[in-house]
Amino acid sequence: MTSSPALRAATLRALHHPGDPLVLPNAWDAGSARAVVEAGFPAVATASAAVSRSLGYADGEGTPVGEMLAAVSRITRAVEVPVTADLERGYRLPPAELVQRLLDAGAVGLNLEDSDPTDGCLVDPGAQAELLAGVRAAAEVAGVPIVINARTDVFLRAYGESAGRLDESIRRARRYLAAGADCVYPIMLADPAELRIFIEAVAAPVNVLAHPAAPAQAELAALGVARISYGPALYAATYAHTAELLASVAAGDRLA
């Protein structure tokens, strides 16, 4: 990569336009990252589930942190665009070490989620805000304004009564933004009316997961979404297609 980490981080941040979202078809290795760039996308994001499965591990911080960051390094070496890494809840690394290892891997952004990968329970929002503030402070010391995408798992984990989930997700998102996050990610929030309320309430860049229940890209843009992620969907589709090809080979067929 020819540009500095600080410049790549600034470039990544500038790509977050509410109403004209940054679309991230998440990659899992150098080859898929190159394919993302060749398709015209201006940044690359990893998906922890996709990277983990491609390495033979389970998602939920089942991949040793060294192997996860090595995979990120292979991706950043393969592309010239900014790379943001899904690092789950940070693998229990101290914020300063987490930031340094992220930068050493060549990435300039990261996802951090607010549920415990070991049991799926939501963590206290104060503890998560403290983690995010530590990451922001470490980034400032390093001189690289990394882009922090703070994921809240209220909808993913079906936290509390359904009637209160939107309010809880907004409360957490606001706290994470105050702690230094650049973007908030209410994963699995898909209802257009609720998305509009969330986006207006947080008044900051919002990331939405593209999945079958979510609105299409154009509708998400009209709602004011700033970032759209595909998570492990491309990896899952690629794996399924590979399984079909292998079944054809096992049946004695030629590949087209």
Q: Is it the case that residue 256 has pLDDT exceeding 80? A: no
- Concatenate the DSSP letters of all residues of 191-211 into one string: -HHHHHHHHHHH-S-BEEE--
Q: Is it the case that residue 1 has pLDDT exceeding 70? A: no
Q: Which residue has the tokens 């079944």?
A: 247
Q: What is the pLDDT of residues 238-247, one digit of tens each?
A: 999 999 999 9
- pTM greater than 0.75 (yes/no): yes
Q: Which two tokens stand for residue 15?
A: 């790509």
Q: How far apart are CA 192 and CA 38, in angstroms?
A: 31
pLDDT, residue 35, reads 98
Edge-first strand listing for the sheet containing 83-86: 44-45, 83-86, 109-113, 147-152, 183-186
pLDDT, residue 254, reads 84
Contact 83, 104 (CB under 8 A): no
SS3 label, residue 119: coil
Amino acid (1-letter code) at residue 230: Y
Q: What is the pLDDT of residues 116-133, one digit of tens each?
A: 998 889 999 999 999 999
Dihedral over Cα of 92, 149, 198, 186: its sign: negative
Interstrand relation of 22-24 and 183-186 (parallel, antiparallel or unpaired): unpaired
Query: Across the chain, how many H-helices and E-strands are there?
Result: 10, 8
Q: What is the pLDDT of residues 61-110, one digit of tens each?
A: 999 999 999 999 999 999 999 999 999 999 999 999 999 999 999 999 99
Q: What is the pLDDT of residues 167-220, one digit of tens each?
A: 999 999 999 999 999 999 999 999 999 999 999 999 999 999 999 999 999 999
3-state DSSP of 132-174:
HHHHHHHHHHHCCCCEEEEEECCCCCCCCCHHHHHHHHHHHHH
Q: What is the pLDDT of residues 43-71, one digit of tens each?
A: 999 999 999 999 999 999 999 999 999 99
Helix axes 95-104, 65-78, angle to 10 degrees: 40
Band of residue 4 on the pLDDT scale cut at 50, 70, 90: very high
Count other C-beta atoms under 10 Å from residue 167's C-beta. 14
Contact 33, 58 (CB under 8 A): no
Q: What is the pLDDT of residues 132-146, one digit of tens each?
A: 999 999 999 999 999
